[in-house]
Amino acid sequence: MNCLSLPPGGSTDATCHGTHGTSDVTTAALHIIMGDSRSVDVASVHAKGQLQGVATTMVSYGYFGDLLQSSERWRKLGPSRYIVSGVLQVIRNRSYEGQVSAPPGDAPLAQPDDAKTCSQHCGVCAKAARSSPLPGEWHQFSGRWSVLTSAVASCSCRLTPHGVSPSDKFTLGDGCTDLILVSGGSRFRILSYPYRTSCTGTR
């Protein structure tokens, strides 16, 4: 989808920040005045054949879904509510049983223009590489997940400058989504994922 520049207007301004690299109001206004536009990806969510909603950043289940839901009760804290809610989710250490199907790409669980796995010690990508499907077949993953996210944008913002999917800032509007799976059962895994994405820019 081709999208005109957007003014910031939310708690994290992830859509605005992800498209122009900043959530500064003046910068956004200048982009709008100049008529700048960018191609962006939009994800749709369906259930039983019915459209449930659309997303320009990510669709998430598990940690981020729980974080967003519980953060509503802390709305008076502003953007800081995400930090409070995030800490609570780590303490609760929830995970969910599920099965995920993903279409094959040019490389297992990689962007078409990125043949690298998401990180050096990624067990999910290593398993996918060992059991790469035949042409036309989909990747199948079953397990217990703390984080299950489909990111169509980097989701960068003031709180996480690199975003939950750092590589997506270079691939806006490419028709792809980054599938992020973090196994459940370990608070260290939950903590290490947001730490790497927010502080080091890696997954």
The confidence band for 50, taking pLDDT boundaries of 50, 70 and 90, is: very high
For residue 82, being part of any structural domain is answered with yes
> Tell me, what's the pLDDT at 109?
44
Number of domains the chain contains: 1
Q: Name which of 38-47, 102-111, 182-191 the model is least confident about.
A: 102-111
Please check whether residue 83 lies inside any domain of the structure: yes
**What Rg value do the Cα atoms of the chain yield, rounded?**
17
- The answer to whether position 22 is within a domain reads no
- The continuous run of DSSP H or E covering 129 comes out as helix 123-130
pLDDT at 129: 54
Between 153 and 143, the higher pLDDT residue = 143
Q: What is the pLDDT of residue 113?
A: 41
Across 10-14, 139-143, 165-169, which has the greatest mean pLDDT? 139-143
Asked whether residue 111 is assigned to any structural domain, the reply reads yes
**Which domain does 72 fall in, by range?**
56-200
CB 101 within 8 A of CB 139: yes
Q: Looking at residue 112, what is its pLDDT?
A: 42
CATH of residue 190's domain is 2.60.200.40
Say yes or no to pLDDT of 95 above 80. yes
CA distances from 178 to 70, 104, 172, 194 (A): 25, 12, 11, 15
Q: Would the pLDDT of 5 be above 50?
A: yes
Residue 31 lies in a domain: no
The per-residue pLDDT for 202 is 56
Q: What is the pLDDT of residue 115?
A: 45
**Is the confidence at residue 114, as pLDDT, over 50?**
no
Residue 34 lies in a domain: no
